[in-house]
C-alpha cells in the first residue's frame, strides 16, 4: 500500500485519503463547470467551436499543474503563482485565437499534447520560483 501512495506521503489514515479524494473531485467538477460556462459565453459572440481548443488547452494545462503539484497545495505561494500563470495564459489564448489567428477553428484533441507540455513546464517554473522566493 505504501508503494502506491508515494506522492501522498502525508496521508495517515483512510479519512485523510477520503478528504484528498473529495478535493480532487471538487477540482474536476469545478473545472468542468467553468469550462462549460466559458464555452457557452464565448460561443455566443463568435463562430461556433472557435474557443473550444483554447478552453481545452487551458483546462488540461492548469489541471495538470494541480495534479502534478499536489504536494504544494498547502503553499500560498503555489496558488498565487498558479493564478498569475492562469491569467497570463488566458491573455496568451486571447492573443493566439482572437488576434493572430482569428479564423482558426482547431479541434480540441490537437491541443492536448501542447497543454501537457505546458503543464510540466509551468510546474517546473512554479517550483523553481517558489524555491527562489522562500
Dist. CA 60–CA 114, nearest whole Å: 9
Query: What range does the domain containing 117 cover?
Result: 3-133
Number of domains, the chain: 1
Q: Which among 60, 113, 58 is positioned nearest to 86, based on CA atoms?
A: 58
Per-residue pLDDT tens for 3-60?
A: 444 444 454 555 655 555 667 778 778 888 888 888 888 878 777 788 999 999 999 9
Q: Which among 131, 125, 55 is positioned nearest to 84, based on CA atoms?
A: 125
Per-residue pLDDT tens for 51-106?
A: 999 999 999 999 999 999 988 988 999 999 999 999 999 999 999 988 998 888 88
Dist. CA 120–CA 4, nearest whole Å: 22
Residue 86: what pLDDT?
A: 96
CB proximity list for 68: less than 8 A, separation 6 or greater: 119, 120, 123
Residue 102: what pLDDT?
A: 85
Amino acid at each position: 500500500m505504501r508503494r502506491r501512495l508515494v506522492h501522498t506521503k502525508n496521508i495517515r489514515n483512510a479519512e485523510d485519503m477520503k478528504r484528498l479524494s473529495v478535493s480532487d473531485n471538487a477540482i474536476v467538477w469545478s473545472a468542468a463547470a467553468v469550462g462549460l460556462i466559458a464555452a457557452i459565453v464565448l460561443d455566443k459572440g463568435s463562430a461556433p467551436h472557435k474557443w473550444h481548443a483554447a478552453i481545452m488547452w487551458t483546462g488540461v494545462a492548469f489541471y495538470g499543474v494541480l495534479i502534478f503539484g499536489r504536494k504544494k497545495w498547502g503553499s500560498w505561494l503555489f496558488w498565487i503563482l498558479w493564478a498569475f500563470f492562469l491569467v497570463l495564459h488566458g491573455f496568451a489564448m486571447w492573443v493566439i485565437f482572437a488576434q493572430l489567428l482569428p479564423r482558426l477553428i482547431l479541434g480540441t484533441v490537437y491541443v492536448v499534447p501542447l497543454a501537457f507540455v505546458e503543464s510540466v513546464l509551468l510546474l517546473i517554473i512554479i517550483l523553481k520560483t517558489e524555491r527562489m522566493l522562500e
